[in-house]
Structure 1
Amino acid sequence: MLDAGHDIGEGGADPGAHMVKDRLRRALRRLLRQRSRRAASQDPALVGLLAGSRFAGLPPGENAMSAEQARRAMAFLLDLAEQMFRAGAETRQIEISVIAVAASCGLHPLELSIVGHTVVLQHAPPDSDPRVMMKVARSTGGRDLSRAVRLHRMVDAMVQHRLDLSGGERTLEEIKRLEPRWPLGVRLAGRAALVSSVTLQANGTYAGVLFAVAVMVVIERTGRVLARGGVPGYYATFVQAALVAGLGILALDFEVLSLRAYASATAANLVLLLPVRAVVSLSQDAITRFGTTAAVRLINVVMEFGALFAGIATVAFVARDVQVVGHAQGVQFPSLPIWLALLAAAVGATASGVAGQAPLRLLPFAALMGTLSIAIRVVGRQYVSLPPALAVLLAAIVLGTVAGRLASRFRLPPGALITPAISASLLPGPDMYRSLSAYTVGPGSSRAGLQLLSAVIVTVAIGAGIVLGNILGAKKELREEQTPQEQ
């Protein structure tokens, strides 16, 4: 028997019940639509590799490709990967870009492998034999931020179907022919400003700044001459490290510099010789499952550090009467006042952007990101009493997160915002200096290894923080269109 107080007729239906039914119906529709999309996806592994990136959820294109079209698309993707390597892009960003463009063009099923600077593509359609193509990007390991921005925007245009494959090929050819954004003299001035900034952050004097700039010019020109002569990078780093130590010894011997000025100038120039990009990229590749590439980078990093120490040790052997880093174990690197640290980081990041071929519109962002990262690092060290590596990790996380948010808004690759700030505000110059100082005291010193380990840990923390920050700051740019019933 029904209760007279509960009318179940159509005209008196309970609004709450209808609301629940509507919600269940919409949820079921969404679930079924997602399943159908997954079923329609002919290459879920391809799309799955985009998870966590700005292209997350991108479905493969539906257009069928002939064998000739597929070959042409694969050749384009290999050229794209090579140009991204030349621009200094991270391995994960190269993978994301290649997969997103392949999916947009309808090139699936596809397998992609990146080992070192070698890119291998395999297209295996079900009705024909698989095709495998490979390309080795013989990059110099430099950074061209202007080229990186152009490539980033070209990829976005292709994924959003504002540019087809033919248009992409023409755009890529234009990017290949790009001249350096800044002439050599301007780039050298940028590096001079950068080394001056790092010298001041290492408690340098004005005389130390001038000496650091002079040494930087010498080692820069020496490196270019050796590179043109085909000398391997190991020996170039060896010679440059020996020059940094040897020129400093001469300055001390002739009493041109004070110990404080010499120590700060040496620390700044050692920062420029450190394989920082390789160490940061190593940790990024290891975290983002590019283990083989990380192992290749590790070998290169070990050789670079070996060249640094060998160059210093050679000068120490020749000048036995002088400690190479100049009675330097007691040298202190007190923190700058916060306002001066912010100014030095802003100038250094801008200068680093110029040295890295950044376009003019990117330089204000470089200054902003350098200021932000040094502020977080200083606050962490001075006001929260964090250990150096933890303070750098926190600054790198914030830097990566903010860069991820700004990058999507201004159509810039996150790396273009991050790289200048790293050089200007996060590098472990004093730690590297102290490790070399302890090393030159002699075999009895046990501090060299600890100081070097501290410098390496700080550098690895930069890469780990940047990766986590990019994940936290990644903004999904592809949104699923809602049906009218769901809006």
Structure 2
Amino acid sequence: MSAPDPRDIYSTLDLALRIGDLMLSSGAGAADVAATMLAVTHACGLQRIDADVTFTELSLQHQPNLEEPASILIRRVRRRPADYAELIEVNRLVQDLIDGMATRDGARERIAAIDSADHPRARWLITVGWGAVGGSLAVTLGGGLVVSGLAFVAACGIDLVGRATRSRVPLFYQQTAGGLLATLVAVGAAATQIDADPSLIVTASIIILLAGIGLMGAMADALTGYPLTANARLLDALLATVGVIAGVAAGLTVAELAGADMGHVEPGATGLAQGSVMTIGAGLAAAAYGLACYAPLRASTAAACVAVCGQAIFLAVDGFSLGQTWAAATAAIVIGTISHGIAGRVRVPPLVLIVPAIVPLLPGVSIYRGLALLAEGEDGVLDLAAAGATAIALAAGVILGQYLAQPIRREGSRLESRLAGPRLAGPLLKRVGRRGRPPIGPNDA
């Protein structure tokens, strides 16, 4: 058997690295990225591959035997906003490669087209989508029509500022500018004595800024044996969060100098009627977030359904006075479990459903309360610590939900394959015996 052409080897490695780059920049965990790259190389006929994933770099090494030198390719990971349309197309491409429905050269053409394709949605629609996220989050927090409108304006401004500065300044300063802008919008509302709670506007904007932080990917890396990548992601998330805190703190200082009363955020009552409105707001926020990240309509709709379930669980557990950390963890476990089962039916990776569904549960309330207390000279450290605990609980809960969903789904498939009774929908799956024959029933002789 002749050795493979070096050009074929490098072509295969390059394809796998391009796929890994798109996945990692979309928030996928290092373990998932490494496993996908290995699956791509194996599908293209290469064995004995070692994959290494860090926060800023991907590398693949191929050495067929000890007598030959290793072929190593390294690719720098580009920082860019999450693009679920690209992630879904990459996921489909990898599946086609594994199923033998795509060749390596055809896959290289497809990945190049995915990376360079223009989005069908106009950029102003994406800005409106982010505005809808802000307005919906204000509803989730218990805000009225005026508060939702102002949160919409603040979220649109955050997106425009982020787009203008993305390629020029580090993420820390982008987050600081976004937090300051949102707080200034709230200060303006308080100064003009509009019938609106400024604290809800700031809190909704904080949640939007937190949504782009890859804390869940960092937790996934820490739990799956990638400590270096996890530390890098955690440091990046910490700096981004500190940027939000710095921006909001600066805005609160402006409010104090202007004599504007920012108030204290009240997330809304948890009665049946108010809870229903907050749950609907969570679903709308998740759908809008998915659309703002270029997810297809079917995925955004599914994410909204998952978010509604998660918010309902959160409100139910929080009603037992167990604390928001336990409520967030329980809701995250449900979100992770449900998303794993629904993702296959809507033909998207679970990540496309999980992240939008988690957004309404992010601890913007605790961060604002902590900053407001610090601005008044009181102790707000406990609230900020509670925000960190809630964020960690959300990330860990989602990952635990994914682990729980895998055996449940596997055992459910086995049970379905063994059922011989009637089904309410879908074709009847006949179980095949060990020797390839249908099982003998009680009426067979």
TM superposition score normalised by structure 1: 0.79
Give the total of aligned pairs: 415
- Which amino acid is the alignment partner of residue 297 of structure 2? L
SS at match of 1:119: strand
- Which amino acid is the alignment partner of residue 170 of structure 2? P
Counterpart of 1:207 in structure 2 is: 146
User: Cα–Cα, structure 1 residues 181 and 401, in superposed 2: closer, same or farther, change >3 Å?
Assistant: farther
SS at match of 1:328: coil
User: Cα–Cα, structure 1 residues 319 and 362, in superposed 2: closer, same or farther, change >3 Å?
Assistant: closer
- Partners of 1:319 and 1:376 in 2: how far apart? 36
Task: Name which of 12, 30, 35 aligns with 1:96.
Answer: 35
- Which amino acid is the alignment partner of residue 121 of structure 2? W
- Partners of 1:400 and 1:343 in 2: how far apart? 19
Q: Are the aligned partners of 1:181 and 1:358 in contact in 2 as well (CA < 8 Å)? A: no
Task: Name which of 462, 476, 487 aligns with 2:394.
Answer: 462
Q: Are the aligned partners of 2:298 and 2:346 in contact in 1 as well (CA < 8 Å)? A: no
- Which amino acid is the alignment partner of residue 363 of structure 2? P
Task: Name which of 353, 359, 368 aligns with 1:433.
Answer: 368
Counterpart of 1:3 in structure 2 is: none
Q: Are the aligned partners of 1:85 and 1:117 in contact in 2 as well (CA < 8 Å)? A: no
- Say which is worse superposed, 311-320 or 208-217, in terms of deviation: 311-320
User: Cα–Cα, structure 1 residues 189 and 313, in superposed 2: closer, same or farther, change >3 Å?
Assistant: closer
- Say which is worse superposed, 68-77 or 80-89, in terms of deviation: 80-89
The answer as to 2:322 corresponding to 1:389 is no
Counterpart of 2:249 in structure 1 is: 313
- Which amino acid is the alignment partner of residue 152 of structure 1? N
- Which amino acid is the alignment partner of residue 426 of structure 1? L
Counterpart of 1:253 in structure 2 is: 191
User: Cα–Cα, structure 1 residues 125 and 324, in superposed 2: closer, same or farther, change >3 Å?
Assistant: farther
CA positional deviation for 1:241: 1.7
- Partners of 1:404 and 1:256 in 2: how far apart? 44
Deviation digits for residues 28-87 of structure 1, max 9, x if unmatched?
Answer: xxxxxxxxxxxxxxxxxxxxxxxxxxxxxxxxxx99734332222111111111122344
Share of identical aligned residues, percent?
A: 24
- Which amino acid is the alignment partner of residue 245 of structure 1? T
The answer as to 2:411 corresponding to 1:473 is no
The answer as to 2:285 corresponding to 1:352 is no
Counterpart of 1:124 in structure 2 is: 63
CA positional deviation for 1:305: 2.5
Deviation digits for residues 347-375 of structure 1, max 9, x if unmatched?
Answer: 11111111110112322212211112112
- Partners of 2:347 and 2:181 in 1: how far apart? 42
CA positional deviation for 1:344: 1.4
Task: Name which of 169, 176, 179 aligns with 1:231.
Answer: 169
Deviation digits for residues 263-316 of structure 1, max 9, x if unmatched?
Answer: 211110111122653222221211122211111112222222222232233344
Moved beyond 6 Å, runs of 4+:
476-479
CA positional deviation for 1:328: 2.5
- Which amino acid is the alignment partner of residue 92 of structure 1? A
- Partners of 1:275 and 1:369 in 2: how far apart? 17
Task: Name which of 3, 7, 20 aligns with 1:81.
Answer: 20
Equivalence map 1:5-404=2 (5 Å): 65-126=4-65, 127-140=67-80, 142-228=81-167, 230-258=168-196, 261-274=197-210, 277-318=213-254, 320-321=256-257, 326-328=262-264, 331=266, 333-335=268-270, 337-382=274-319, 384-404=320-340
- Partners of 1:325 and 1:476 in 2: how far apart? 55
- Which amino acid is the alignment partner of residue 184 of structure 2? G
- Partners of 2:297 and 2:358 in 1: how far apart? 19
Counterpart of 1:418 in structure 2 is: 354
CA positional deviation for 1:327: 4.1
Counterpart of 1:58 in structure 2 is: none
TM superposition score normalised by structure 2: 0.86
User: Cα–Cα, structure 1 residues 341 and 97, in superposed 2: closer, same or farther, change >3 Å?
Assistant: same
CA positional deviation for 1:380: 1.6
- Partners of 2:73 and 2:250 in 1: how far apart? 46
- Partners of 1:476 and 1:109 in 2: how far apart? 29
- Partners of 1:89 and 1:283 in 2: how far apart? 11
User: Cα–Cα, structure 1 residues 314 and 411, in superposed 2: closer, same or farther, change >3 Å?
Assistant: closer
Deviation digits for residues 160-192 of structure 1, max 9, x if unmatched?
Answer: 222221222122122123222421222222222
- Partners of 2:158 and 2:343 in 1: how far apart? 34
RMSD of aligned residue pairs (Cα, Å): 2.7
- Which amino acid is the alignment partner of residue 163 of structure 1? A
- Partners of 2:382 and 2:166 in 1: how far apart? 33
User: Cα–Cα, structure 1 residues 221 and 159, in superposed 2: closer, same or farther, change >3 Å?
Assistant: same
